[in-house]
């Protein structure tokens, strides 16, 4: 049962109206939003040392990444629904505590299989916590304050994805007290404790006035759909594409079709499906998700591929590889801060301008890598990386704002879960597809040519995002 009003640590229960999320509360939920995204990318630069210390091998290393991403993506919509039912603050606290605990287990894992299991649990904890962030912002703010908060969420999400890789390089190289790669997980523990203290003090409890029961058939079919698609794509190359991967891929369209049928039937019968078709009927949500998918596929693939190319191809250390991405983080943050003002003046054209900037940035990267390999340094990468980050910062916060703009407050949890599930699944799909393309081509034609072809594939996704942005409503709510 949901706690009665005022029963949750002194914070008021807000039934999806009013502006009660203060500055400290906003900082706290954004801190919670950053942790899962940082941990999706922080592992990239640590994989070689994990392999060395735990004798993991390629297949288990893939599971260290994929196990987290799969459980995270599969449970996000359910996490949003649970927040609507039992209180978003309560689920945020539970997810934060579980994330800190599972991070500790990852950091002390004695072998590769323990690490894989802890990563799966860590992904599940993230899925409890993250949907509550946007749902709380949506339910406990209004007007320009909500628009600013959503823009800050977009800035936080993008920065977390870039700085995760930078932070990973710094922590692995620092080898604090001989911890090596373990520090990338142990650092979460004090941050989670801080988040819990702040959340008790500053985050209001919100929940839906009409929470819907759990849609068990929909939950199971969504999980099966995502697993049958993402598991073979992330594990197939490392495992040598065994028979189960092809069976799984063949099962994906069947499971996805069954999920759509079950959700539509539940809607017609007056029940509340896990992903209400009426929610997907919102033009802003549907078109925003259409942009978010290619953007996130390209982003996830780029961050994975560049981590390998900088270290193994150009011989950079983990810290230098991180420094090479600092201009991207700085430009992303600056663009994110300017976004709300630009949107008020130019509307959704900001997304188109961002795609143009990212296109130029990726093209400059391709040119530098093609002409100067293998003597490419941080200076040669700077213009392309900075312009790409600027373009990403103009796109992501605005796209997120568009996706959420017309979602009713009582559906804030499920709406946030749908959006974050799409984003997370696309990030994982980018790692699987562009990552597999890069690694396969590297073996056949060398790393420079493989990297250039992979970046050109990402460039195609950027152009697609820019073209799709022209279909957005000019005004952004």
Supply the pLDDT for residue 194: 95
* Angle CA 138–140–145, to nearest 5: 75
Share of the chain above pLDDT 90, in %: 30
DSSP-assigned letters across all residues of 414-459: HHHHHHHHHHHHHHHHHHHHHHHHHHHHHHHH-HHHHHHHHHHHHH
**SS3 label, residue 392:** helix
Q: How far apart are CA 3 and CA 17, in angstroms?
A: 18
Contact 252, 76 (CB under 8 A): no
CB atoms under 10 Å from CB of 22, counted, come to 14
What's the pLDDT at 10? 44
Nearest residue to 14 (alpha-carbon basis) of 202, 140, 142, 143: 140
Tokens of 358: 């990212």
Helix axes 447-469, 349-372, angle to 10 degrees: 170
Q: Round to whole Å and give the CA distance between 211 and 13.
A: 14
Token pair belonging to 245:
């991967």
For the chain, which ranges sit under pLDDT 50?
1-11, 16-18
Cα–Cα distance, 431 to 233 (Å, whole number): 9
Instruction: Return the pLDDT at 334.
Output: 86
Structure tokens at 403: 């996706």
**What distance in Å separates the CA atoms of residue 208 and residue 206, rounded to the nearest whole number?**
7
User: Under 8 Å CB-to-CB from 177, ≥6 apart: which residues?
Assistant: none
Predicted confidence at residue 346, as pLDDT, reads 84
Nearest-angstrom CA–CA distance, 125 and 169: 24
Residues 347-363: pLDDT tens digits? Answer: 888 999 999 999 999 99
Euclidean distance between CA atoms 62 and 52, whole angstroms: 14
For the packed helices 447-469 and 283-308, what is the interaxial angle rounded to 10 degrees? 170
pLDDT on residue 2: 38
If you ran DSSP here, which 8-state letter would residue 241 be given?
-
Please tell me the pTM assigned to this model.
0.81
Residue-level pLDDT at 167: 84
Q: Smallest Cα–Cα separation from 285: which of 153, 133, 472?
A: 472
The CA distance from 137 to 149, in Å, is 7
């Amino acid at each position: 049962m949901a706690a009665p009003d005022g029963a949750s640590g002194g914070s008021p229960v807000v039934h999806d109206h009013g502006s009660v999320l203060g500055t400290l509360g906003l900082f706290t939920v954004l801190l919670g939003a950053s942790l899962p995204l940082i941990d999706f990318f922080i592992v990239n630069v640590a994989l070689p040392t994990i392999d060395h210390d735990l004798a993991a091998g390629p297949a288990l290393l893939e599971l260290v990444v994929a196990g987290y991403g799969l459980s995270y993506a599969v449970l996000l919509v359910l996490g949003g629904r649970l927040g609507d039912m039992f209180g978003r603050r309560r689920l945020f606290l539970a997810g934060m505590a579980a994330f800190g605990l599972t991070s500790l287990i990852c950091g002390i894992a004695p072998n590769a299989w323990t690490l894989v299991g802890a990563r799966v649990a860590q992904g599940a904890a993230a899925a409890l916590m993250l949907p509550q962030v946007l749902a709380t912002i949506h339910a406990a703010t209004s007007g320009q304050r909500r628009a600013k908060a959503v823009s800050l969420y977009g800035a936080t999400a993008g920065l977390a994805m870039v700085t995760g890789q930078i932070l990973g390089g710094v922590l692995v190289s620092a080898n604090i007290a001989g911890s090596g790669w373990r520090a990338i997980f142990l650092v979460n523990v004090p941050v989670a404790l801080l988040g819990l203290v702040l959340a008790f003090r500053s985050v209001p409890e919100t929940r839906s006035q009409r929470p819907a029961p759990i849609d068990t058939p929909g939950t199971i079919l969504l999980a099966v759909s995502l697993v049958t698609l993402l598991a073979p794509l992330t594990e197939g190359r490392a495992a040598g594409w065994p028979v189960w991967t092809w069976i799984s891929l063949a099962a994906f369209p069947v499971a996805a079709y069954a999920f759509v049928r079950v959700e539509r039937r539940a809607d017609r019968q007056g029940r509340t499906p896990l992903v209400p078709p009426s929610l997907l009927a919102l033009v802003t949500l549907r078109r925003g998700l259409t942009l978010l998918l290619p953007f996130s596929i390209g982003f996830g693939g780029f961050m994975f591929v560049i981590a390998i190319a900088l270290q193994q191809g150009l011989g950079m250390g983990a810290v230098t590889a991180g420094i090479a991405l600092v201009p991207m983080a700085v430009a992303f943050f600056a663009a994110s801060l300017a976004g709300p003002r630009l949107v008020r003046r130019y509307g959704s054209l900001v997304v188109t301008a961002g795609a143009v900037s990212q296109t130029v940035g990726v093209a400059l990267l391709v040119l530098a890598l093609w002409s100067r390999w293998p003597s490419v340094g941080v200076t040669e990468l700077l213009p392309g990386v900075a312009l790409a980050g600027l373009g990403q910062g103009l796109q992501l916060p605005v796209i997120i704002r568009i996706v959420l703009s017309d979602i009713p407050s009582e559906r804030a949890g499920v709406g946030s879960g749908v959006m974050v599930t799409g984003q997370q699944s696309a990030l994982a799909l980018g790692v699987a597809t562009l990552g597999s393309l890069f690694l396969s081509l590297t073996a056949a034609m060398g790393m420079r040519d493989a990297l250039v072809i992979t970046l050109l594939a990402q460039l195609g996704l950027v152009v697609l995002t820019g073209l799709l942005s022209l279909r957005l409503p000019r005004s952004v709510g």
